[in-house]
Chain A
Amino acid sequence: MIHHGNLLSPTARRMLLVVYLAFTLLPISWLFLSTIQTQASLLTLPPHIIPTGFTLRNYIDIFAPAAFGENTGQSTFVLALRNSVLVSLGTTIISLLFGTLAAYAFARLNVPHKRTLLLIVLASQLLPAISVIIPLFRMFRGAHLLDTLTALILAYSTFSLPFVVWIMAGYFQSVPRELEEAARLDGASRFGAFIRIALPLVAPGLGATALFTLLNAWDEFFFALIFTSTYAAKTAPVALAEFIGRHSVNWGLLVTGGFIASLPPIVLSLVFYRYIVSGLAAGGIKG
């Protein structure tokens, strides 16, 4: 019997596709549907599956002061989002700046023991936060950095900097050496060849790496939970986790907060879908 190279029969494929789409899309659709329902519709007894009342109230209320945590006069949700933005951007900028330089040295320059060093870098990217969190806590407490964005950016470098080095070294290795050698014959210095030839050629890889670094920092929870105590530094994941821990949970606000905090990564990932797929397929990405 000839199947023309397919592994699945048309019927099996259709059934599996339905299962796949239901599994993948139903929970997230339910999350969205819950954000646009009235409190009465969410909390009907006995519960309905079909919503009974729609509203955008949650999207307004969540930005009100005191709606999402202790009353500081400002919306704590906005403060948490601001902290998340600053920490993610700070982590990404520093990791890309430092990591790209190191990656080029690993890929191109004659550095002793570079294979071993590169493997140590990869291993340190895969280590869990728990491996370093107690000494980091003592260090930050000694330096009066607890509950600051600086502490979070430093802590996030433990996974983002090795990640950038590892991935960018791969991109630099894929650039043909001849291009840089030609530039050097024309009188460019080694560093000049890096800046003017290699760096522009890996720009798409740099963009993909920046995206992954940003998403990983935005998602981080454990360091932020331990190192922050006020909305001077609490990030969106910590704010959400705290909110769910309370006795009387306002489910409408909570699901809306969870949805809004996930919108930046979802939108960025949809826009840069191709980068995400090739990056994930390349492996070495935690999470």
Chain B
Amino acid sequence: MDRPLSSPVQPSKRSQGSEFSELTLGLLMLAPTALVLLLVVGYPLVSSFWLSLFRVNLANPEQGQPFVGLGNYLHALAQPDFWYAIQRTIYFTVGSVGIELVLGLLFAVLLNERFRGNLGARVAMIFPWALLTVSNGVLWAWMLNPTYGVVNTLLIRLGVLDAPKAWLSDTFWTMNVIILADVWKTVPNMTLLLLAGLQPIPHELYEAAEVDGASRWQKFRQVTLPLLRPVILVAVALRTIGAFRVFDIIYVLTGNGGPANSTKVISFYNYDQAFHYLYFGYGAAISWLITACMLLLIIIYLRLLRPDVES
């Protein structure tokens, strides 16, 4: 940045020349990335907003593409289906991130302790983390299969269930088992983020609390939680951004956001409108509403990550 006095060896003429070429070099090095991102992110965002101002239906091209202003947005906000989709997204996000946080905290505290086989226990997290998202869907579809699935078999053996349950055809259970499947795969991510926050907390702080007569729970409440708070906030914000966009696991486990639309979250609603009914203008409006929500979450995340960003 501005530190012109840092290299006194250079004659002033030459340093001026190299500063000019530094700007040129910088722009040249940025150019390929800038071009690609303008093409695949910048232009689409602008184009999507422009498209959202028209009624575009690819299924009926003879209707033309009339300008409707903010009509698509007003239409969306007046649709009960839109608001149901938002509600389901919030339910999924709160459920998924909430359970992840509780399990992630428990597992991170466990893995932060010293015991034999600790490294092996940590490495085990790789399996759910690295499994393909679609393979995770396949795995849970198989385990939850009403006829042959191991979940029903186990629950019946244990006496929890009397008869097999069709988990993925039940308007109450489908969303909840999808949350379970999602949590299983994303808990390692949360655990690792929290574990990275636990490791720098000095052991002496716990020992000092013990000298003061603190119980284990008091140590957790009064030492761990306050020091971990910034990390928890960043992890929750990051996972919220991830959960709010959920689509893949719902597509694999239900195919259509069913049963009876009970798992049709906002990205699924958007996908349906744009690529099933081919309402591109309306779809673009929904996608801009989602983008606005995401940008809000991203800004919150950036502020938590870098408190100095506020300026």
In the assembled complex, the Cα of A49 lies from the Cα of B143 at a distance in Å of: 11
Q: A24-B124, A221-B248 are in contact. Are A244 and B138 (CB under 8 A)?
A: yes
Residues of the A chain whose Cβ atoms lie less than 8 Å from the Cβ of B238: 283-284, 286
New contact pairs (14) apart from A30-B139, A286-B241, CB-CB < 8 Å:
A4-B207, A5-B203, A46-B153, A111-B27, A128-B267, A130-B287, A157-B40, A218-B132, A237-B132, A237-B133, A244-B141, A262-B135, A280-B196, A287-B133
- Chain A CB within 8 A of B294 CB: yes
Q: Of A28, A119, A139, which contacts B309 at CB under 8 A? A: A119
- Is A241 a contact partner of B252 (Cβ separation < 8 A)? yes
Interface size counted on chain B using CB atoms at 8 A: 118
A60-68, A70-78, A202-210, A270-278: which lies at the B interface?
A: A270-278
In the assembled complex, the Cα of A269 lies from the Cα of B125 at a distance in Å of 10
Nearest-neighbor residue (CB-CB) of B271 within chain A? A130
A42–B142 Cα gap in the complex (Å)?
A: 10
Q: Which residues of A contact B32 (CB under 8 A)?
A: 97-98, 101-102
Contact A42 B33 (CB under 8 A): no
Whether A123 contacts B295 by the Cβ 8 Å rule is yes
Chain A 31-71 interface mask (CB, 8 Å, partner B; 1/0): 10010000000111111110000000000000000000000
Nearest 10 pairs of A and B residues by beta carbon: A281-B196, A109-B26, A258-B135, A128-B245, A135-B44, A258-B138, A102-B33, A132-B44, A237-B134, A135-B47
**What are some 8 contacts across the A-B interface (CB < 8 A)?**
A3-B206, A31-B135, A43-B148, A98-B32, A130-B245, A134-B51, A157-B37, A273-B126
Shortest Cβ distance from residue B298 to the other chain A in the assembled complex, whole angstroms: 5
A134–B110 touching, CB < 8 Å: no
B contact set with A: CB distance below 8 Å:
1, 7, 9, 18-19, 21-23, 25-27, 29-30, 32-34, 36-37, 39-41, 43-45, 47-48, 51, 103, 106-107, 109-110, 112-115, 121-135, 137-143, 145, 147-150, 152-154, 157, 184, 187-189, 192-193, 195-196, 203-204, 206-207, 210, 213, 215-216, 219-220, 224, 234-235, 238, 241-242, 244-245, 247-248, 251-252, 255, 267, 270-271, 274-275, 280, 283-284, 287-288, 290-291, 294-295, 298-299, 301-302, 305, 309
Contact yes or no, B26 A110, CB < 8 A: yes
A127 to B241 CA separation, bound complex (whole angstroms)? 9
Instruction: Give the Cβ gap from B229 to chain A, nearest Cβ, in Å.
Output: 15
Do A119 and B142 touch across chains, with their CB atoms under 8 A apart?
Answer: no
Which residue on A lies nearest to B35, using beta carbons?
A98
Docked-complex contact B134 and A258, CB < 8 angstroms:
yes
Interface size on A, residues (CB 8 A): 109
